[in-house]
Amino acid sequence: MWGAVLCLVALLVVWISRWVHNWANPKCDGVLPPGSMGLPFIGETTQFFSPHSLYDIPPFISKRTRRYGAVFRTSLVGQKVVVSTDPVINYEIFQQENKSFLLWYTQSFLEIFGQQSLVTQHGMVHKYLKNLILQLVSPENLKGKLLPVMDKATRKHLNSWASLGRIDVKEGSSKMIFEYFAKKLIGYDENMDPNRKLRDSFQAFMDGLISFPLNIPGTAYHACLQGRKKAYKVIKDIFEKRKASKGHHNDFLEYLLNEVEREDTFLTEQIAKDLVFVLLFASHETISAATTLAVKFIADHHQVLEELTKEHEAIIKSRGHENSELTWQEYKSMTFTHMVINETVRLANIVPGIFRKVVKDVEIKGYTIPAGWLVMVVPASVHLSPNKYESPLQFNPWRWEGQELHAGSKSFMAFGGGIRLCVGADFAKLQMAIFIHYMVTRYRWTVMKGGDIVRRPGLIFPNGLHIKISGRQEWRSRSFESRLKKQTTDATGAFN
């Protein structure tokens, strides 16, 4: 009896030992990159999600590159992953999209964004959806349709900030972008329906978006899924209400529903809803984070503020009317502003990792990455590398002087790379440029508190960035003089 029990225990120990050994030493028809798979199932997820400060390459990455080199293996949230910090390899990965690599995310990430969302689509479907989004945020549509809306919303909210005297830039800019973009996207106005706080649901969603995928009450991931559920219900209700409506609404949702009805379309209602969900999140959350960081950097670097003010005052002086809205030509002329934006997003590294799935075994620098594994490209490892940027942790917009400001490269992938270059990049840069224009020409501000930055591994402002803000006296005087001059001219013309 006892002999049989001891035999079973021995067999169990052998089986567990073999299982643990196989986990730590995955099979491969070649040589795997060096590294550690961590604990079974858990892998090295806990270390990956450990909070750290903004101004450096994530400790999880830097420790392993020092030990294993620029390419190493690990396991995150149950997925076998090869991490690449090599810019040449990263560039090659992006160029092999839809060949050896496919855009991919962890299963937990897909559960949050939706199994039919843009991030899951490949080939012709992805190209089709990308073209749909360009109907909203292409340079042509930004120039002809969205620029006036963005300009008006920015002026309105900044004026409101100045009236209050103080504002949390992260909260205020997030609210500003969400308000006008949700209306342009799906005709949603939160002020008209206080019982449906769609943006609040996205706030809960953000807190757990990049967290350990443990779906039990009390965890950030559970709160994230609940936020998605509430937000998705509002979106679903808007779809149903719109389908029953007969009128024209002149928004992106009307365009989507017309596409769903076409016979030759790839678009289903489910894909359309997931698309709206992703666009609502990406538009206000990522841009508000970059905008907040830009305000912090500008406030900390007086020379940058002076140079920006010089550039934007010159734009105003060249106008026929000082109070005119920004034009597309003025936006394109903002060379130093674009240098500031590039430097901000280089240091921001809002996306901690860009994932691709390996379709077939791939040979890279003597190593084999097996089919089915994920590859994670780490933008921060390139953006903060002293081999690519002099004094990489320093905010220095002048480093972009004479360089291409509107495209990705091996050493700059803030907006992704390859055919997956962020379709909303132009939208994000335009919003930041409009915001900077009015901040430096019409307002004075000082940072009062906050500004602490933590990564978990996404970019978080735990205390916000609170500023004291007021209108510039010289702008108010100048505007008054301009109006008086115009009134005098109009009166004189009436007597001629």
CA atoms within 13 A on the CB side of 450: 22
Radius of gyration for the chain, computed over Cα atoms and rounded to the nearest angstrom: 26
Where do the DSSP E strands lie in 173-256? none
**For residue 213, pLDDT beyond 80:** no
**For residue 79, pLDDT beyond 60:** yes
Residue 169: CB partners within 8 Å, gap ≥ 6?
Answer: 291, 292, 295, 464, 465, 466, 467
Instruction: Report how far apart, in Å, the C-alpha atoms of 428 and of each of 147, 329, 485 are.
Output: 12, 17, 37
**For residue 485, pLDDT beyond 60:** no
The pLDDT score that the predictor gives to residue 214 is: 77
Model confidence at 81, in pLDDT bands (50, 70, 90)?
very high
* pLDDT, tens digit (0-9, with 9 covering 90-100), for 398-436: 999 988 877 777 788 887 765 556 778 899 999 999 999
Out of 169-173, 405-409, 431-435, 459-463, pick the least confident.
Answer: 405-409
Model confidence at 246, in pLDDT bands (50, 70, 90)?
confident
The pLDDT score that the predictor gives to residue 206 is: 63
The pLDDT score that the predictor gives to residue 63 is: 94
Determine the average pLDDT of the residues in 225-236. 87
The pLDDT score that the predictor gives to residue 146 is: 93
The pLDDT score that the predictor gives to residue 153 is: 95
136 against 209, higher pLDDT = 136
* pLDDT, tens digit (0-9, with 9 covering 90-100), for 355-382: 888 988 988 888 999 998 999 999 888 8
| 7 labelled binding-site residue | no
**For residue 244, pLDDT beyond 80:** yes
Determine the average pLDDT of the residues in 214-238. 85
DSSP state of 389: S
356 against 117, higher pLDDT = 356
What's the pTM?
0.88
| Strand 354-358 to 374-377 pairing | antiparallel
What's the CATH fold of domain 120-354+397-490?
Cytochrome p450 (1.10.630)
Query: Do 433 and 337 touch, CB atoms closer than 8 A?
Result: yes
